Structure 1
Amino acid sequence: MRRGRRGLLTLEVRLSQGGRMVRISRDFGFFWVSQTLSVAGDSFSYIALPLLVLHATGSVTQMGLLTGVGGVAAVVAGIFAGHLVDRYDRRRLMIGADLVRALLYAAVPVAWAFSPQVWLLYVVVPLGAALGKVFQVAYVTAIPALVEKERITEANGRLYATYSGAAVAGPMLAGVLSASAGPVAAVAVDAATFAVSALGLVFVRLRASGASEPARGGFLAGVRFLWRHPVLRPLTLALALLTFLMMALTDLFIYRLKHDLGQSDAVVGVAMAASAAGSVLASLVVARARRTLGFGVSWLGSYVLCGIAVALLAVTGAVPAIALLITAYSLGTGVAGICSMSLRQEVTPEPLLGRVTSAFWTIHTAPGPIGAALLTTAAAAYGTPAVFAATGAVFLVLAGAAALTPVRRSRPEEATA
């Protein structure tokens, strides 16, 4: 260890990519570890909350409704999150969001100790989603304050890798824990990890930013930047249409395994861990894919892979095959997500990054709750295979349409708003 630039304690680690030596700051290390722990616990709720609703109501429509309510809350919070992040201390906002979420999720096992209270989930989930939106926007703006610009994609990939690695174990443990002790116990673990994440963030220092400057223009300043940028504009619109399809898919994966195929909670957890395995693979290949293939091929090809994987889910009932297809789907969404987030971080002026991130997420996630409600309702009426087939086909059509826009550019970071 040695004293590096800006007086930060740095660690030198060897990456597998060409054996290069890169420097990781002490602050990035704390940020990395604390958020990995948070994601490991958060993945418990990823499985536990849908199972909790399914156990209590037996309804896929209720699962979709709860997902939709959380989505609406996130969209509404996104209108204000960017202004808060650009105006106030980003680290403190993340710590506060984690602490309040710890209390919210802890309320679920406390209430369930007396009797199931499904109504409480309709309070906890939207509030947690709103706080999560503030945290996510602040998190995105923190990365450029921790690493140099040319390392942003690699940093995002590294964070995504360890987050996903933790998430591999999370769903498996959540499924086993739900089978043995019930989904409520998994939610309790999630509450504890939010507290751990907040503690880790206490030790993180961000480089000086423009967050203390007046955040003039609010949410609309972010919208204007997205609209004026030749690549971010069609990218945001394309993702809005894709998110309409994607928000319900986790519920449908679980419903397919649990309801249609009669699998246990433990099997659901193991199968859904495949999504984290796909994310790990995405984080390992994304930086090299973007360097060699360019942004356009990497992003568009990822959603073509998603469309094929989802469509094939319509014709298989074998759990190993389903797990493999979920892995492919997560690989595609992972590569595309890292590419698009890195692009925004690269081309957006730092004092505006919170509002641009907030506007981007709000616009492209707004159709998600509607899609979640419609797709889960359609699955209840026509079955999951029909919904998977139609969804996969629409994925491919949307990827083809996006290929006709500037999204296909190899180096869109060179474009200016």
Structure 2
Amino acid sequence: MTTTAPRLRDDPDFRRYWLARALSITGSMVTAIALPVLVYRLSGSTVLTALVTALEAAPYLLAGLFAGALADRWNRRRTMVTADLVNAVLVGSIPVAHLFGVLTVVQVLVVAFTVQGVYTFFDGANFGALPVLVGRARVAQANSAVWTASSLIELFVPPLTGLILAVLNPATLLTVDALSFVASALAVRGIVRAMSERREGLPPLRPRVVFADIAEGLRYLIRHPGVRTMTIVGSVQSFGGGGFMALIVVWCDRVLHVGTSGLRFGLVWGTWGIGGLIAALGLPRLLKRFSPAAITLYALPVSALLGVLTPLSQDWVTAAIALLVWGSAYVLVIVNAVSYRQQVTPEHLLGRVNTAGRMLSWGVGWTFGAVVGGVLGRAVGIRSGMVLMGLTIFIGVVVAWTSPLRRIAATHDPAAV
């Protein structure tokens, strides 16, 4: 485990890791905007457009636990490279099909689901790779660097994507994501240091053994009060956030009247990235004064409040400002919880525990939130449906403030609990 480098920016292997994540995030952000726009233009359906958002997280329900268990056994570098290359082919199939005039909504939805299924294996390996690569003492700093890049990308890519979508078909634009997966694979392949500790004496890989590995990771998550509570509240927040994001394209078009392309559409989407940037830059500084438990306790109510106020915005400027503030609190809850899990979880359980946590928050919370949001948007209207989804985040606030997080925050030493 390497902890000697004084600054992450001076570590060539971390720079390669950071570049890989930045490239992949750039492509994924383009796809996150282009895919729902593509489905909306092909079908005109609110439900099908919301389904794209649901399919982003649904694979975690089916493969998340298995991906984490296997990633703790496999070579993490090889797993990440393979997943990137497979996804390059899958995403690339959409612009190819469009070029030949055979693209259908079914293909787009199948690719959206399959890409995320493959990505669960990348994610499982990635969660365990980072603490080994940089050392646990620098995990929060490393995550901050990655999330800062992600937030900057979310700041500049959506407006640019919105402008490009005014002149280019969203299917063609997905070529960017396919190429980003290839570039990410090359960057990860160039990392010299190990991203896995040696595995010796492991039993042969059989179904019974895999299920036992999964159970071991789940037991740790359930028994650790801090990890358990942050996972629960993260799932609740993701439920509300998934419902909102499932309707955001239709909201921009029918409520804010900025359409599904152009500068204003991109700016509304991009202000979330500014909020994420603020959160990513602020987390290492906040951790010098507060425990991760305290950060969750105070950031979550802000996220819940803005989850309700944002859909009530009367114009695109107000909506953009509200998304900026909400993005700050929302992302702060997420990156804080991820860093905390990576710091307190034993190395041999990193993939399992983190993918289990992501399965519950992203897979369960986001998926069902997107489905419910799509149904509510059709049943009670876009704005009302969004407000109802935002209100659900207050359930997480109640859970957090009646949980062991209050005691953990008071001790300022959650890792010792």
* TM-score of the alignment, normalized to the shorter chain, above 0.5: yes
Aligned residue number for residue 345 of structure 1: 342
Q: Is the 8 A contact 1:86 1:351 kept in 2?
A: yes
* Match 2:135 to one of 144, 148, 159: 148
- In the alignment, does 2:48 pair up with 1:62? yes
Tell me if the contact between 1:41 and 1:170 (Cα under 8 Å) persists in the aligned partners.
Answer: no
8 Å CA contact retained: 1:44, 1:171: yes
1:360 aligns with 2:357: yes
Instruction: Report if aligned partners of 1:31, 1:204 keep a CA contact under 8 Å in 2.
Output: yes
Q: Secondary structure at the match of 1:405?
A: coil
1:363-382 to 2 correspondence within 5 Å?
363-364=360-361, 365-382=363-380
Does residue 327 of structure 1 match 2:324? Answer: yes
Partner Cα separation in structure 2 for residue 46 and residue 107 of structure 1: 16
Q: Deviation string for 1:78-124 (max 9, x for gaps)? A: 02111211111001101011101111000001111214411101221
The aligned residue for residue 222 of structure 2 is 227
Letter in 2 for 1:284: L
* Structure 2 counterpart of 1:281, from 278, 298, 307: 278
Map of 1:17 onto structure 2: none
Q: Do the aligned residues in 1 keep the contact of 2:255 with 2:383 (CA within 8 Å)?
A: no
- C-alpha spacing 1:211/1:400, structure 2 compared with 1 (3 Å): farther
Mapped partners of 1:238, 1:6: distance in 2 = 32
Q: 1:237, CA displacement in angstroms?
A: 2.3
* Aligned equivalent of 2:206: none
Q: Report the TM-score when normalising by structure 1.
A: 0.91
Query: Which residue pairs with 1:256 in the alignment?
Result: 251
Aligned partner of 1:29 in structure 2 is 15
CA contact (8 A) 1:306 1:329 kept: yes
Give runs of ≥4 in structure 1 deviating > 4 Å: 5-8
Q: Which residue of structure 2 lines up, in the alignment, with residue 415 of structure 1?
A: 416
Q: State whether residues 3 and 138 of structure 2, in contact with CA within 8 Å, keep that contact through their aligned partners in structure 1.
A: no
Counterpart selection for 1:50 from 29, 33, 36: 36
Matches within 5 A, 1:16-415: 24-113=10-99, 114-207=101-194, 209-210=196-197, 212-213=199-200, 214=202, 217-264=212-259, 265-266=261-262, 267-364=264-361, 365-408=363-406, 409-410=408-409, 411=412, 413-415=414-416
After superposition, the Cα gap between the structure-2 partners of 1:314 and 1:338, relative to the gap in structure 1 and judged at 3 Å, is: closer
Of 161-170 and 392-401, more deviation after overlay is shown by 392-401
- In 1, Cα distance between equivalents of 2:132 and 2:123: 15
Name the SS of the counterpart of 2:300 in structure 1.
helix
**Residue 315 to residue 123, structure 1, CA distance change in 2 (3 Å):** closer
What SS does the corresponding residue of 1:293 show, helix, strand or coil? coil
- TM-score calculated relative to the size of structure 2: 0.91
Provide structure 1 residue ranges, at least 5 long, that are not aligned to the other structure: 13-20
Q: Which runs of 5+ in 2 are unaligned?
A: 204-208
Q: How many residues align?
A: 402
Residues 400 and 412 of structure 1: CA distance in aligned 2, closer, same or farther (over 3 Å): farther
Q: CA RMSD in A?
A: 2.1
Structure 1 residue 202, shift from structure 2 partner: 1.1
Q: Residue type matched to 2:93 in 1?
A: A
For residue 211 of structure 1, report the CA deviation from its aligned partner. 5.8
Kindly state the Cα deviation for residue 22 of structure 1 after the two structures are TM-superposed: 5.9
Separation (CA, whole Å) in 2 of partners of 1:386 and 1:7: 50
Kindly provide the amino acid, as one letter, of the partner of residue 413 in structure 1. Answer: P
Q: Distance in 1 between matches of 2:142 and 2:176?
A: 27
Measured in 2, the distance between the counterparts of 1:167 and 1:242 equals 20
Work out the CA distance in 2 between the residues paired with 1:208 and 1:143.
Answer: 7
Amino acid in the other structure paired with 2:157: G
Contact persistence 1:230–1:415 (CA under 8 A):
no
Q: Secondary structure at the match of 2:10?
A: strand
Q: Percent same amino acid among aligned pairs?
A: 26
Query: Is the alpha carbon distance of 1:323 and 1:7 closer, same or farther for their aligned partners in structure 2, counting shifts above 3 Å?
Result: closer
Change (3 A) 1:106 1:404: same
Distance 2:315 2:198 in 1: 51
